[in-house]
Amino acid sequence: MTDKKSTVEEIRQRFDHETDRYTNLETGQVAVMDSPLALSLVAEAAAVTTPHAKNVLDVGCGGGNYTLKLLQRMPHLNVTLTDLSQVMLDHAVQRVRPQTSGSVEALQSDMRHLDLGNRSFDIVLASAVLHHLRTDSEWESVFQKLHGLVNPNGSIWIFDIVESELPELESIHWRRYGEYLTSVGGDAYREELYSRIIEEDTPRSVPYQLDLLKRVGFRDVELLHKHSCFAAFGAMKR
């Protein structure tokens, strides 16, 4: 992948114009593999591991799909939504507010600079957002921040694009992902998504992120699902 990546502002502008891609709860985000399955797995895992939850934070919420799926199981939650794009946040709030008896708050912010004061949450969701982190120091800083936002006996759940630690397998994963994209939208769609990933994303492997979750203080980690270059996983804070 190239060293020249899109700026935060460039990424924000793209999201402002692509809300439709992130606001279908039935299909999830079509550009990723197994999106409906990941939505279901994350919601169920969050609900059964954190049944006492009152407050949820959705980092990089997009259209709010993951929060909406969780609210189907826990419709009483107080919801805090954050995203780089105000346009995306506005759509998420419109969709989420009718689905909960709790409060809904939206904060436009880059996750690197997210400031929630002394507030904390029982569940943190982060879907297709962490891959925008660049350096190892950024990854560690954001994971430390997320750990600090999770209450004791709370949980964090992540779904994202991931790389492989084995180059021999990386090529297999990208070939299979390319075949999936072609089946969804044709060769042009595949090349569009490939170019975007090269320009914007810096994914890390599942072992890297599970190890980092433990290093910043989460105790129990779990891989829910992995298919080629996408994975759902999480951790508990004891």
What number is the average pLDDT over the span 3-28? 72
Residue 186 lies inside a defined structural domain of this protein: no
The CATH number of residue 225's host domain is: 3.40.50.150
Residue 58 lies inside a defined structural domain of this protein: yes
How is residue 7 annotated by DSSP?
Answer: -
CB-CB contact of 84 with 8 (8 Å): yes
Query: Which residue range forms the structural domain that includes residue 138?
Result: 10-166+203-237
Residue 173 lies inside a defined structural domain of this protein: no
Q: Give yes or no for residue 1 having a pLDDT over 60.
A: no
Q: Give yes or no for residue 187 having a pLDDT over 80.
A: yes
Read off the pLDDT of residues 109-140 as tens digits, 9 standing for 90 and up.
Answer: 999 999 898 889 999 999 999 999 999 999 99
How is residue 112 annotated by DSSP?
Answer: G
Pick the more confident residue, 14 or 83.
83
Residue 100 lies inside a defined structural domain of this protein: yes
Residue 195 lies inside a defined structural domain of this protein: no
* Residue 78 φ/ψ region, left for φ over 0, alpha for ψ in the -120 to 50 degree band, beta for the rest: beta
Residue 104 lies inside a defined structural domain of this protein: yes
Neighbours of 110 (CB within 10 A): 15
CA–CA separation, 36 and 225 (whole Å): 12
CA–CA separation, 160 and 99 (whole Å): 25
Number of domains into which the chain is organized: 1
Q: Is 13 exposed, middle or buried (0-12, 13-18, 19+ CB in 10 A)?
A: middle
Residue 191 lies inside a defined structural domain of this protein: no
What number is the average pLDDT over the span 1-17? 67
